[in-house]
Amino acid sequence: MVDVKRASALDTAAWAVQAALAVGAQDAEATCVVDERFSAEARDQVLTKLEQSTGRSLTLRVFVNSAKATLTTNDCDGEGLRAFVREAVDAARYVASDPLAGLPEEAHPADRAEELDLFSPDVAERETEAKIGDARAMEASIRAYDPRIFNSSGSSVDDASATIALANSRDFRGEYRTTSVSMGTSPIAQDGNDKRRGSYGTAARSYAALETSHEIARTAAQRAIDMCGARKPPTMRVPVIFDRDVAAMILVDIFKSLSAANIVTGNSFLIDKIGEKIGGDLVTIVDDGRLPRGLGSSPFDSEGVPTRRTVVFDRGVLKTYLYDTYYARKLGTVTTGNASGGGIGPNNFFLEPGRGTQAELIASTSHGVLVLDTIGFAVESVSGTYSRGARGFMIEHGELAYPIEEFTIAGNFATMLAAVDAVANDLRFDAAVVSPSFRVAEMTVSGN
């Protein structure tokens, strides 16, 4: 029996695999994650949340006669771990067999995680008081920015350090360490009888790569103030510019339609579209798990398959869907290294940037709308229908004219991708799915 309290994450995962084989599994895969997390939130100068934890979890995937069972436990101690392994193997015996279920065909060597630069020592080195100080500093900065800012939904600082280890019965052994940090704030401004909210945050692999607490607070506060005096626009058909954060949310929806799991179940507007030109020439969308310091980067996916760079749309042409091993077998192809937590997930999924700034994109739009925030949810994946409430700015004569709210933007993903006629250069890798700002030549804006 492995001494879990002293064993490395990789030793724990390897032991679980062998234990599963010993009690009847034909194949097995184990992922052990050891992580340390910190979270602090302040409102004004009052600390409203302070959490710090260290955890260890083990996820075991076993196969018995082409039947699969997956269980996760946080009880990684002694006999509890033995019982967990037996429970997982027993569970597989009661599951219907599936000839496509199983581990990747070959054991892949684990790539060197050091080349991806996913771990920063400054996360552990930063003192707790300094992190709390950042949260309080953001609160102080947003209130000092403008007298109309009287409250906030909180200013937060979060970080995590993790060791991820994976072993399977095909002789795969891999382990890597990661860190991640984020800071954000959401000030509230008084605008007559209305309240205006602005939010801004940033994330990175290290504290050194983050914007300062003052910069974050200033951006968030300006967003709240900018919305003062907002009014409802008329209904119209105009060019629409999506700010980078909203653009990223659109790419999240696009990713879902590219997932092979949704292709197989018929839940995508991109079924049978490989090789077709869906988007405009400026639409090149990439999934890349190999970006140094990327928040979606890793040396291998959750099945031990090395991550890679996959061009999904090339100048508007759909080149591929994104797969894990199971759905690749289902569709007669190979995995793209996108297995994630039992499903298919993004690595670093992004629209390639253009050359101009967002300001230049606005200046080239004589009459249109800049969308800074969306509200609600109305996306239909099968047809590609897109409709959401929004806030932003009216653009007149190439300038931001006045803030607008309580309007809806509507279109279809295929039509929107085809009508992308300008892409800015403001791409930042501060999440797993990101995008630069881009303009759609014409969309319906429903207001008065």
Partnered with residue 278 across adjacent β-strands are: none
What is d(CA 186, CA 83) in angstroms, rounded to the nearest whole number? 46
Q: Which residue has the higher pLDDT, 314 or 76?
A: 314
Instruction: Report the alpha-carbon distance of residue 154 to residue 48 in Å, rounded.
Output: 8
Long-range CB pairs of 80-84 (<8 Å, 24+ gap) are 81/1, 81/2, 81/4, 81/16, 81/19, 82/1, 82/19, 84/58, 84/60
pLDDT given for residue 402 in this prediction: 96
d(CA 372, CA 378): 17
Report yes or no: 182 and 158 within 8 Å, Cβ to Cβ. yes
**Which tokens hold the place of 11?**
């030793």
Residue at 1 is within a domain: no
Residue 44 lies in a domain: no
Q: Which of 286-300, 347-361, 372-386, 407-421 has the lowest mean pLDDT?
A: 372-386
Residue 62: domain span: 9-39+49-107
Which pLDDT does position 76 carry in this prediction?
Answer: 74
Mean pLDDT within 40-47: 94
Q: Is residue 128 located within the same domain as residue 178?
A: yes
| DSSP state letter for 91 | H
Asked whether residue 285 falls in the same domain as residue 434, the answer is yes
CA distance linking residue 243 with residue 392, whole number of Å: 9
State the CB neighbour count (10 A cutoff) for residue 119: 20
Least Cα distance to 420 among 236, 282, 269 occurs for: 282
State whether 446 and 376 are in the same domain.
yes
What is the average per-residue pLDDT within 119-126? 96
Instruction: Give strand ranges (E) for 21-148.
Output: 27-43, 46-64, 67-73
For residues 216-244, give the mean pLDDT.
Answer: 96
Number of domains in the chain: 3
What's the CA gap between 390 and 29, in Å, rounded? 44
| Residues 126 and 92 reside in one and the same domain | no
The pairing of beta strand 343-344 with beta strand 339-340? antiparallel
**Residues 16 and 164 placed together within one structural domain of the fold:** no
**Together in a domain, 221 and 349:** no
pLDDT of amino acid 107: 62
- The predicted pLDDT at position 45 comes to 87
Task: For residue 4, tell me if it sits in a domain.
Answer: no
CA–CA gap between residue 318 and residue 332 (Å, rounded): 18
pTM of the model: 0.95
> Which CATH number fits the domain that encloses residue 174?
3.30.2290.10
CB atoms near residue 127 (< 10 Å): 8
Instruction: Name the pairing type of β-strands 285-288 and 309-314.
Output: antiparallel
pLDDT at 184: 97
d(C-alpha 194, C-alpha 150), whole Å: 12
pLDDT higher than threshold 90 for residue 438? yes
Say what percent of the chain tops pLDDT 70: 97
Residue 42 confidence (pLDDT) above 70: yes
Residues 97 and 188 in one domain: no
pLDDT value, residue 200:
96
430, HSE (Cβ side, Cα atoms, 13 Å): 19
Same domain, 252 and 197: no
Give 125: exposed, middle or buried? Use CB within 10 Å, 0-12, 13-18, 19+: exposed
In-domain check, residue 2: no
pLDDT at 4 over 80: no
